[in-house]
Amino acid sequence: MSEAAEAYPRIQRRTLHDEVLERLRDMIIEGRLEPGQRINEGAVGAQLGVSRTPLREAIKSLASEGLVEMQHAKGAAVRRFSVRDLREILEVTKSLEQLGGRIACVQASDAQIEAIAALHQRMMELYAQRNRLEYFKLNQAIHSAIVAAAGNAVLMETHETLQARIKRLRFIGNEGPAKWAGAVAEHEAMVAALSRRDGDALAAEIGKHMDHTLTRVSEVIV
């Protein structure tokens, strides 16, 4: 096979479960299903055009991610987080990302770092288009990719678990031009430090980004 042919990514066949899970997760992230709101399976299923069975499987997956709570005799509801919840999760997430960033600067391949930089460039294009949801998804993918580049499966799994729980909160933390621009500038500095393989600088930038995230999000939690 030629190099040109190998450069094309394979088409990924997505299951109905994957589609329903992503759509339901997006509804929570964007606030179409609000914190504390019970998930009406009939109404949401009709909106998505699916039966209750795949919807219930998606709800179970979101419950395992920490975005949904299963309430006895009441069904499922979107989880409501407090400022304290956010602070505790971000404290641990910050430490995990700083550790992952330091390791990645030492042992990640050039190809891995270039791939993260490419994700950042695509994210900047979405920022220019003001496409908040797709920007946010790529933003989170960059955080995950930096941790993954450390090559530690336990670190990556723990990080993914915590990151999933506060996706809605981090999404709303970028509401408003000033907050969004600030987050973008912090990502620029993070990727620049990674590209230089400067672990101390990357850890410092991650720390500032997480601290500012806590401030930005705390202002909008009700």
**In the prediction, which pLDDT does 3 show?**
40
pLDDT 10s digits, 139-160: 999 999 999 999 999 999 999 9
pLDDT 10s digits, 18-77: 999 989 988 988 888 988 899 999 999 999 999 999 999 999 999 988 889 998 777 899
Two tokens at 116? 């993260």
pLDDT band for position 219 (cuts 50, 70, 90): confident
Two tokens at 130? 């003001």
Position of tokens 């460039």?
121
- Nearest-CA neighbor of 215 among 85, 93, 83? 83
Of 18-22, 77-81, 162-166, 186-190, give the range with the top mean pLDDT. Answer: 186-190
CA gap 33, 103 in Å, rounded: 38
- Specify the DSSP element, H or E, that contains 75: strand 75-78
